[in-house]
Chain A
């Protein structure tokens, strides 16, 4: 079974530029999450989708971050304009049943903002 796919793995941009990350979850997983993990910290939830609807985006900085999950499968996370403090690893995870706590994570997209 294929795991969660993310791209790109690495991205370096200047501040105020824009960037987009893509995630393809495990087939059949209705729940999709985007997490931000700053070096030395635990993952912080940005947004949670159930199929193509948003369940929780309370910690998403909506003035610069946006995310969508068209057709309830792939998802894209966009940052525009980027700030220095956005340097982090952006992790996508999916789950067939969040009640179990078993989230399957991708390898992440590492963003460096200069």
Chain B
């Protein structure tokens, strides 16, 4: 059964304290792994697409990496405005997008 698991569920960081969020997946025929950011009361906002193991994408303080079994979202020197829920999604051969449950990130000034 296709599955996406994110950890940790919640993460509190001091401003400037770098860390990583994890997304592990078991899908048949991965056709892409995607990271989204969701602010309270808003819909998810697209961040990155990764297609193959070894691929990396960067945007400001965020860097996403992909292996054959998991993806990491690295946050370097986070700021309070980076506080949000970060969602991982995968697209399998059936064309469905499966979302994980997300990691709630709080960055304390």
Give residues in A with beta carbon < 8 Å to B. Answer: 4, 33, 35, 40-45, 48, 55-56, 58, 91, 93, 98-108
Contacts and interface: CB of A to CB of B under 8 A. Distances in A.
Contact of B99 (A4, A44, A99): A44
Contacts of A41: 101
Prevailing SS type, chain B contact patch: strand
Given A101-B34, A101-B89, A101-B91, A107 B42 contact: yes
Interface of B: 4, 6, 31-34, 41-46, 49, 87, 89, 91, 94-102
Given A45-B97, A48-B95, A56-B94, 18 more contacts: A4-B43, A40-B101, A42-B6, A42-B100, A42-B101, A43-B87, A44-B99, A45-B98, A48-B96, A55-B95, A58-B96, A98-B91, A101-B33, A101-B46, A101-B91, A101-B97, A104-B46, A107-B42
Contacts of A99: 31-32
B49 to A, nearest CB: 4
Contacts of A104: 46
Contact of A42 (B32, B43, B45, B102): B102
B101 A98 contact: no
A48 B96 CA distance: 9
Contacts of B97: 33, 45, 98, 101, 103
Given A43-B87, A93-B43, A107-B43, A101 B100 contact: no
Nearest to B104: A40
Nearest to A102: B46
5 contacts: A42-B99, A56-B95, A98-B91, A101-B32, A104-B46
Contacts of A102: 34, 46, 49
Given A105-B44, A105-B45, A107-B41, A98 B95 contact: yes
